Amino acid sequence: MKVLIKIFKVLIKFFTSIRLAIILLIILAVASVLGTLIPQQRGLEEYAARYGQLSGLLIRLQLTRLYHSIWYLAILGLFALNIVVCTLTRLSPKWRKAVKPHVQVEAKSLLALKIKDRYKNNAPLSAVKAELEKSLAASRYRLRSAGQDSKVHLLARKKILGIFGSDVVHLGLLIILAGGIVSGLTSIRKELALKEGETLSVPKASFELRLDKFTTEYYPDGSVKAWKSAVTVIENANPVLAKTIVVNKPLTFRGYSFYQASYGWNWDNPAVEIWSKKKNDPSFLKKLKLKVGEQVPLDDKEQTSISVARFIPDFVLGEGNEPQTRSLQPNNPAAFVEGFRGGEKIFSGWIFANFPDMDRIHAAQETDLSFELKGYEAGQYSVLEAAKDPGANLIWIGCILTMLGLALAFYWPHWEIKAVLEESQGKTEVVAGGIAAKNRDSFQAEFEKIMTSARRTP
């Protein structure tokens, strides 16, 4: 039994250690910074492209899903245990002090305080006591007394709730930690890419989201001014809510928030504009608009028809000199055109919008045709971020309690005045002392004012 008690005391001492709390806070702060710098819960390809060989280490250390990682949640739990033990070990004495204070005290102990006073009055004890109580009540102190006719003990207190300021802070921190753990285990954050008219199910929700219209607004210099997504919430096959989502103006529904994250181009079936010219006939110009895979006649004497077999928005040569796109942005648009005459392919090759003189046309038959890629059109899709954080409300409540606790601790400090009044041979001696948790200079000034007022002869 003694061994168990000793182990219990060691554990209590360990978990009430300020050093432990500081170390855990530093670890949590560093981890949170890493969680901010490293994008969370992305695909393996993105981490490999961003961090190279280091991506494997980041994934093994769970830094790519930090707030869901076992070690991060374990540190949160350990920090919460530290706060709980610290609070419980100090709460009982504070509660007794607030509810059942010890009124009787020796005069010697009061004279040992830094803030103290001692005087004699020729009036009887009852009159001196009444005058002192009047002065204390005028400064809004709550009074308790104990003792006999010849000796009385007074206890005057104000701002009693300030005693529990640190405990309210601890409670707020515990609720914040609980909210963080709930968020880490149950929060949802998913990007939804929707084309106009497309409907997608929201992850772990009983409703769907439909994109009715997506528009991109531009400044005169061509830079993006705003993305706007007109969406409709579908629940049980019925539209229940319609709203236009703009950056910093999300849609909120059933605990989910939908943010405008970005946009993209739908290159599945773009339309291109191609100009055809003849080297030997400067007056010949044909402007053609066609879809990928569509074949249209050129209306020339040779009855040539052309088609666009392939379109690449950001052309680059990959492994084995194979054409591929570097991104989904139209940074280097290119089209692969083919020409036919009498059902036979007579030429094919790549043409580039940004480099009209760099066409790579390979002709099986002699032709004086040349082509330029003048334009392209593709539908855009909107990227919305669906987010649900069940722990957010807990975190807000915890923040409010933490701020309230700090206000109590720093701006509502507990002040206490104790006095011993003793009557002897018709005279009354008063010994008083004051204790202040904060703002001692202000308390001392108030203490001296009260004692000066109480010295007056009744």
At residue 253 the predicted structure's pLDDT band, cuts being 50, 70 and 90, is: very high
**Element at 240 (helix H, strand E):** strand 238-246
> Binning pLDDT at 50, 70 and 90, where does residue 165 land?
very high
In whole angstroms, give the CA distance from residue 197 to residue 284.
Answer: 41
The pLDDT of residue 209: 95
Average pLDDT, stretch 434-453?
Answer: 92
Residue 300 has a pLDDT of 66
Q: Which of 29, 35, 42, 36 is nearest to 385 (CA)?
A: 42
What pLDDT was estimated at residue 365? 67
For residues 70-93, give the mean pLDDT: 87
Confidence of residue 458 (pLDDT cuts 50, 70, 90): low
Q: What is the pLDDT of residue 457?
A: 60
Residue 159 backbone dihedrals phi, psi, to 5 degrees: 55, 50
Any idea which architecture 101-159+416-454 has in CATH?
Answer: 2-Layer Sandwich (3.30)
The b-or-e profile of 72-101 (16+ CB within 10 A means b, else e) is bbebbebbbebbebbbeeeeeeeeeeeeee
User: What pLDDT is stored for residue 415 in this prediction?
Assistant: 95
Stretch among 48-57, 113-122, 235-244 having the lowest mean pLDDT: 48-57
Q: Which residues have a Cβ under 8 Å from the Cβ of 416 and sit 6 or more positions away?
A: 155, 156, 157, 434, 435, 436
CA atoms within 13 A on the CB side of 281: 12
The confidence score (pLDDT) of residue 147 equals 84
pLDDT band at 141 (very low <50, low <70, confident <90, very high): very high
How far apart CA 360 and CA 351 sit, in angstroms, is 6
Least confident of 10-19, 67-76, 240-249, 433-442: 10-19
CB 35 within 8 A of CB 66: yes
Over 70: is that where the pLDDT of 330 sits? yes
**Among the ranges given (11-20, 230-239, 395-404), the one the predictor scored with the smallest mean pLDDT:** 11-20
The answer on pLDDT for 163 being more than 80 is yes
Lowest mean pLDDT among 47-61, 280-294, 356-370: 356-370
Residues 55-59: what's their mean pLDDT?
88
Mean pLDDT comparison of 7-21, 215-229, 246-260, 268-282, highest-scoring range: 246-260
Phi, psi of 36 (to 5 degrees): -80, -40
The residues, any chain, with a CB within 8 Å of residue 431's CB and separated by 6 or more, are: 107, 110, 111, 116, 117, 118, 419, 420
Task: Tell me the mean pLDDT in the region 303-329.
Answer: 87
Query: Would you say residue 37 has pLDDT above 80?
Result: yes
**Most distant CA atoms of the chain, gap in Å:** 138
> What does the domain layout of the chain look like in residue ranges?
2-95, 101-159+416-454, 171-266+382-403, 269-376
- Residue 350's identity, in one-letter code, is W
> How does residue 76 score in pLDDT terms, banded at 50, 70 and 90?
confident
pTM of the model: 0.65
Report whether 216 contacts 412 (CB < 8 A). no
Share of the chain above pLDDT 90, in %: 38
Q: How confident is the model at residue 221 (pLDDT cuts 50, 70, 90)?
A: confident
pLDDT (0 to 100) of residue 13: 81
Contact call for residues 97 and 163 (beta carbons, < 8 A):
yes
Whether 364 shows a pLDDT value over 70: the answer reads no
**Bigger pLDDT: 280 or 334?**
334
CA-CA distance, 408 to 166, in Å (whole number)? 8
Decide: helix, strand or coil at residue 383. strand
Q: What is the pLDDT of residue 16?
A: 79
What is residue 143's predicted lDDT score, i.e. its pLDDT?
94
- What's 161's DSSP letter? G
Average pLDDT over residues 101-127: 91
DSSP structure class, residue 162: G
Q: Which pLDDT value is given to residue 402?
A: 94
Q: How far apart, in Å, do the first and last CA atoms of the chain sit?
A: 62
Q: What is the mean pLDDT of the chain?
A: 88
Checking if the pLDDT of 302 tops 60, the result is yes
Residues in the chain: 458
pLDDT in the model for residue 399 = 94
* pLDDT for res 202: 92
CB 231 within 8 A of CB 210: yes
Q: What percentage of the chain reaches a pLDDT higher than 70?
A: 98
Q: Is residue 66 scored above 90 in pLDDT?
A: no
- Interval 51-78 mean pLDDT: 87
